[in-house]
Chains A and B, each alone.
Chain A
């Protein structure tokens, strides 16, 4: 896993998010946090826990169950000079916010020709775990990547979670911030001081020469495991985390794919019209695209998410399916002479609900 040791100590992803928002609230009175449950005893997996005690209940507050209104409210507050953060316990709830996000927040700068801006952050939790099913697990980042005026980020490491959140809060545009539940307990070295992870800059987490694996959110973790498995059979995989999906650092991704000539994009989402399609298209429109010899997408099955674990395991890619996809891209489509053996990812097997 990527680490940056200078000035850092080990924090979980959730602790890193908490530290990021807390430091920004300290530094800037215009930052406030709202959303269902932000001031409850769970505090969004600890990421907003007791912020209301530290900064006052007018800067971290629960809301009515009114996502449409609250999204409009933060848009107006942002236009009036505040820097709101709206937290959603599930990204599925963003479907109740689409009118405000797409018709209003994303367009305000344009239709006022820059006279008004909307510096807001929408934090949204995605991901499998313990049978979340069809309406509590969806990853809808590609919906938002489609829309000019929005930025979309999905950091994977604790370091990038903190730095991206701070960058999102300071950004003068609406930012959709995507967090996978299975990342919250992951540990990583996080600098104590405040810092930004700039948008539009991908991170090469593992260098490799045979194949480029571009992975999104929790699939980065699974892809790093897959890269480790691939070493067993002498395949060297380069693993890239885009971190920011819009803007997308296509230079870094295309540069890598052009070198390895093989590309696997593993989305934490559906394939149809998805982030993986966008990434591949942007590469093949460039000179590096001519050097590609093998390309594949991997992601959710094109079905709603099933609840029962046995079907969930088929629905989601994992390190084994990623390793096999990569192996076949390198060795040929019909290669069946290797079957990696894995234990289920500990963050999934050890997770107990109900949240």
Chain B
């Protein structure tokens, strides 16, 4: 969690240099959800995420060097620079994609689960999405289908209460997202406060039940985006969120909470390892080449 936080703080530091010439959607404040869930997954379990995907990519085991090179638009990036921050992928760890169109990854995750079931695998799929996704029709179609087919999939709704600057209250006549899943006969639990331990415990239970053939489950994880929807900055000046809301979440920072549980010597060891890894990932991205011109036409089709 601390590693992910520090990676994104470095991205904020680097962003004004204009070396990352594409949009970034920071996970800062929301790391505990990806970390808690992915802690309960096996390497062969599959994760599908969103354009706010740095935390998930790293928590699922995606390679930091490849991510950094991708953000720099370099040929050694996880998608050879052709995808960027919004489309992180590392098939080697079953981090199979992040989409920039809200909710579109959900049915793909369902399809992965369908394939795993057909192949009689006991791996499972986790679909990560924001609460904005639950506004979309395809969310409901996908809940219905996953439940109908009893598929091995865990739905993780990261509820940060805002779709860009639109609060959930302005978008829903009745704000109860768990009920939306329960309508399709999918067990749903809400976890308050971005609580890493609670997310981990609930995920462990859900993953075990899903792996045992129990069908889809749904966790609504309350969380908060500290920064602007897109870009590196805070957005207090826009005043679309009540005063104090962000401060309260910052005061209950899960990263700091965990740091307080660890002795100083261990903290220093972790700190050094994280800083070394980040600086070597940045060096890797800096030194990597930009793609050759021919690259633009590669991979449009597969042989």
A111-B82 in contact given A64-B148, A103-B104, A104-B99 (Cβ < 8 Å): yes
If A78-B111, A80-B116, A114-B302 touch, whether A72 touches B83 (CB-CB below 8 Å) is no
Tell whether, in the assembled complex, residue A104 and residue B104 are in contact, meaning their CB atoms are under 8 Å apart. Answer: yes
Cβ-neighbour of A99 out of B89, B104, B115 (below 8 A): B104
Mask, B79-93, CB within 8 Å of A = 1, is: 110110001010100
Q: Is A197 an interface residue (CB 8 A)?
A: no
| Chain B residues in 8 Å Cβ range of A78 | 111
With A66-B141, A104-B104, A112-B79 given, is the CB distance from A73 to B111 under 8 Å? yes
Partner of A73, one of B80, B145, B303: B145
A112–B96 alpha-carbon span in the complex (Å)? 9
Interface hit among B169-177, B219-227, B293-301: B293-301
Cβ–Cβ contact A69 & B107, under 8 A = yes
State in angstroms the CA–CA spacing of A115 and B107 once bound together: 20
One digit per residue, 1 when the CB lies within 8 angstroms of any chain A CB and 0 when it does not, for chain B 106-139 equals: 1111111111101100000000000000000110
Asked if B29 lies at the interface with its beta carbon under 8 angstroms from chain A, I say no
A81 touches B142 (CB 8 A): no
Is the C-beta of B73 less than 8 angstroms from some C-beta in chain A?
Answer: no
Is A72's CB under 8 angstroms from B97's CB?
no
Q: Is the CB of A64 within 8 A of B97?
A: no
B302 x A77 contact (CB < 8 A): no
Judge if A278 is at the interface, Cβ distance under 8 Å: no
Whether B303 contacts A76 by the Cβ 8 Å rule is: no
Chain B residue at minimal CB-CB distance from A69 = B141
Please determine whether B115 and A81 come into contact, CB atoms closer than 8 angstroms.
Answer: yes
Q: A71-B107, A72-B107 are in contact. Are A32 and B91 (CB under 8 A)?
A: no
- Taken together as a complex, chains A and B put the C-alpha atoms of A75 and B138 apart, in Å, by 14
> B residues within 8 A CB of A109?
299-302
With an 8 A cutoff between CB atoms, is A58 at the interface?
yes
- Look across to chain B and name the residue whose beta carbon is closest to the beta carbon of A96: B137
Smallest beta-carbon distance A166→chain B, Å: 17
Q: In the assembly, what is the distance between CA of A74 and CA of B148, in Å?
A: 16
| Nearest chain A CB to B300 CB, angstrom units | 5
A69 and B138 within 8 A (CB) = yes
Render A41-71 as a binary contact track against B, CB cut-off 8 A, 1 for contact.
0000000000000000011000110101111
Neighbour of B109 across the interface among A63, A68, A76, A119, CB < 8 A: A76
A173 beta carbon closer than 8 Å to chain B: yes
> Is residue B101 contacting chain A, with contact meaning CB distance below 8 A?
yes
Interface string of A105-129 (1 = CB under 8 A from B): 0001111111111010000000000
The answer, yes or no, to whether B144 is at the interface (CB within 8 Å) is yes
A75 contacts B111, C-beta separation under 8 Å:
yes
List chain B residues, Cβ under 8 A from A84. Answer: 111
Query: Given contacts A73-B114, A82-B118, are A64 and B300 in contact (CB under 8 A)?
Result: no
Contact residue among B99, B107, B302 (Cβ-Cβ distance under 8 Å from A68): B107
User: Complex formed: what's the CA distance from A72 to B127 in Å?
Assistant: 13
User: When the two chains form their complex, are residues A110 and B82 in contact, meaning their CB atoms are under 8 A apart?
Assistant: yes
Count residues of B near A (Cβ-Cβ below 8 Å).
41
Among A63, A74, A111, chain B packs the most CB atoms within 10 A around the CB of A111
On chain A, the residues within 8 Å of B87 by CB distance are 111-112
How many chain A residues sit at the interface, stated as a range, is: 35 or more
Interface presence of A148 (CB below 8 A): yes
Residue from the list B89, B104, B111, B301 in contact with A77, Cβ < 8 A: B111
Q: Which residues of A contact B46 (CB under 8 A)?
A: 80
Distance of A81 Cα from B112 Cα, bound (Å)? 9
Knowing A69-B142, A72-B106 touch, does A77 contact B114 (C-beta < 8 A)?
yes
CB nearest to A73 among chain B residues: B111
Min CB gap B244→A, angstroms: 38
Kindly state whether residue A321 has any CB partner on chain B within 8 Å. no
Given A99-B101, A103-B101, A110-B299, the answer on whether A72 and B110 have CB atoms closer than 8 Å is: yes
Is residue A268 within 8 Å, beta carbon to beta carbon, of the partner chain?
no
Q: Which residue of A is nearest B148, CB measured? A: A64
Note all chain B residues with C-beta closer than 8 A to A148.
300
Partner of A116, one of B89, B110, B116, B141: B89
Question: Does A79 make an interface contact (CB < 8 A)?
Answer: yes
Q: With a CB–CB cut-off of 8 A, which chain B residues contact A75?
A: 107-108, 111
- Inter-subunit contact A149/B301 (CB<8 Å): yes
* Bound CA–CA A116/B88 (angstroms): 12
Asked if residues B142 and A113 are in contact (CB atoms below 8 Å), the reply is: no
Give the shortest distance, in Å, between B35 (CB) and chain A (any CB): 24
Cβ of B101 to closest chain A Cβ, rounded Å: 5
CB contacts (< 8 Å) of B109 on chain A: these are 76
Given contacts A112-B91, A113-B83, A172-B302, contact A64 B104 (CB under 8 A): no
Residues of chain A at the chain B interface (Cβ within 8 Å): 32, 58-59, 63-64, 66, 68-82, 84, 99-100, 103-104, 108-117, 119, 148-149, 151, 172-173
Would you list 5 pairs from A and B whose C-beta atoms are within 8 A, ordered by A residue?
A66-B138, A72-B108, A76-B114, A79-B112, A113-B79
Q: Give residues in B with beta carbon < 8 Å to A.
A: 46, 48, 78-80, 82-83, 87, 89, 91, 96-97, 99, 101, 104, 106-116, 118-119, 137-138, 141-142, 144-145, 148, 298-303
